[in-house]
């Protein structure tokens, strides 16, 4: 009995000595199960910290709940900040810089991280974010129809136009165009352009942006596309599954759901078509430590992130969530996963030509003006340049 009491006292003392790291995130399904698994493994691996993960809804719900918690108190230590929310949180001063912690990282570790994901966490040369779930847009296509019509997987925009025309029939469209900012951004960066200038100004009337929208308009006039806006994303998915549209751009993280739903045909997945100087924009989120966290909580959050970045844990995360691997050294561990589906390797390794999304707090407002322009041009037949010039004026006025 004395030994039992002594053990209980010891365990209680250890629990009291541990620093709790509350972690709010927006990952559900297999990704949530993986996060819980990581937290349990990390907690068991050391005695100083205890990570407590909590699913708080999707990105939009998470943003709402975080802002409410910041006002009322009770915000977590660690938060999964959607990639465009992240700069806003930094600008509002609610996240802490992590430079002192990351300065101790070995050079070999930093070099092993894919640059675009690592660099996104820097704002004004200070480190505020740590990469976690990182995605790229990809091309989903109906492989049965592509092969039946003797078409090849498009690698550039000329080939994409040929595929869209070739896949169009009386009952289906070759391509489902989404009038939403991220997949449109991919069509701009893949041409070597950007939606925001290097000095942080809206760039909606640049050559590559106008060219990308005029290209979509031309496909529409040729009868090769159907158009859906963000609120119609469910119908876009249904169109693809029911073979009413043969190609669509979406996040690589949508792959498991698309694979499960596309039982009527074989799902094909490929990198975004791009020109030789083109890039793809990263999506996903950064992990941030919120204002009010103690020095020990900051250290614990950082150590948990280091644990997540172990190559074996990255392998587990990629296989559970289909987000892209963040370290080059994790790639060999994924060879069996890639062999299961030959499309996986080329799609996942697209991260090597990825670039950060705009790190400008106002971009969350500017993208609404851009999406209005896409809607007017693709559904209302407003000339591309005219629609984009209006979006540019609105964005500049909102700076």
Instruction: Name the phi and psi angles at 138, rounded to 5.
Output: -135, 170
For position 2, what pLDDT does the model report? 53
For position 289, what pLDDT does the model report? 98
For position 203, what pLDDT does the model report? 98
| 96 touches 289 (CB < 8 A) | yes
Number of Cα atoms under 13 Å in the Cβ half of residue 20? 9
The 3-class secondary structure across 132-182, one letter per residue, is: EEEECEEEEEEHHHHHHCCCCCCCCHHHHHHHHHHHCCCCCECEEEECCHH
Q: To which residue do tokens 């499960």 refer?
A: 260
Rounded Cα distance, 359 and 194, in Å: 12
For position 333, what pLDDT does the model report? 97
Q: What is the pTM of this model?
A: 0.87
For position 9, what pLDDT does the model report? 47
**Contacts of 42-48 spanning 24+ positions with Cβ under 8 A:** 42/303, 42/304, 42/307, 45/307, 46/303, 47/14, 47/17, 47/18, 48/17, 48/18, 48/19, 48/296, 48/300, 48/303
Note the residue count of the chain.
399
- For residue 197, count other CB atoms closer than 10 A to its CB: 12
Residues of the chain falling short of pLDDT 70: 1-16
């Amino acid at each position: 009995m004395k030994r039992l009491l002594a053990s209980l006292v010891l365990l209680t003392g250890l629990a009291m000595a541990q620093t709790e790291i509350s972690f709010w995130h927006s990952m559900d399904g297999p990704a949530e199960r993986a996060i819980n698994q990581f937290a349990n493994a990390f907690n068991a691996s050391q005695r100083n910290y205890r990570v407590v993960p909590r699913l708080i809804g999707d990105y939009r719900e998470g943003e709402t709940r975080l802002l409410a918690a910041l006002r009322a108190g009770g915000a977590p230590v660690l938060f999964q900040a959607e990639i465009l929310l992240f700069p806003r949180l930094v600008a509002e001063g609610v996240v802490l810089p992590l430079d002192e912690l990351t300065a101790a990282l070995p050079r070999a570790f930093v070099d092993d991280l894919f640059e675009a994901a690592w660099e996104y966490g820097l704002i004004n040369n200070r480190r505020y974010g740590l990469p976690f779930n990182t995605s790229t847009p990809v091309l989903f296509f109906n492989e049965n129809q592509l092969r039946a019509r003797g078409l090849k997987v498009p690698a550039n925009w000329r080939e994409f136009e040929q595929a869209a025309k070739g896949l169009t029939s009386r009952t289906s469209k070759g391509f489902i165009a989404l009038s939403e900012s991220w997949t449109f951004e991919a069509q701009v960066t893949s041409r070597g352009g950007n939606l925001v200038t290097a000095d942080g100004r809206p760039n909606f009337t640049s050559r590559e942006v106008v060219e990308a929208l005029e290209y979509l308009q031309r496909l529409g006039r040729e009868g090769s596309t159907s158009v859906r806006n963000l609120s119609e994303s469910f119908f876009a998915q249904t169109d693809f599954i029911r073979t009413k549209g043969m190609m669509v751009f979406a996040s690589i993280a949508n792959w498991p759901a698309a694979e499960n739903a596309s039982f009527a045909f074989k799902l094909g997945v490929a990198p975004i078509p791009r020109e030789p100087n083109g890039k793809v924009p990263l999506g996903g989120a950064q992990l941030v430590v919120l204002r009010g966290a103690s020095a020990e909580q900051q250290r614990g959050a950082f150590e948990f992130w280091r644990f997540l970045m172990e190559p074996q844990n990255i392998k587990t995360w990629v296989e559970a969530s289909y987000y892209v691997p963040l370290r080059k050294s994790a790639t060999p561990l994924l060879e069996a996963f890639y062999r299961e589906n030959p499309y996986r390797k080329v799609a996942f390794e697209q991260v090597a030509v990825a670039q950060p999304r705009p790190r400008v707090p106002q971009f969350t407002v500017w993208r609404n003006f851009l999406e209005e322009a896409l809607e007017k041009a693709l559904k209302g037949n407003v000339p591309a340049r005219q629609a984009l010039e209006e979006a540019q004026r609105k964005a500049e006025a909102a700076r």
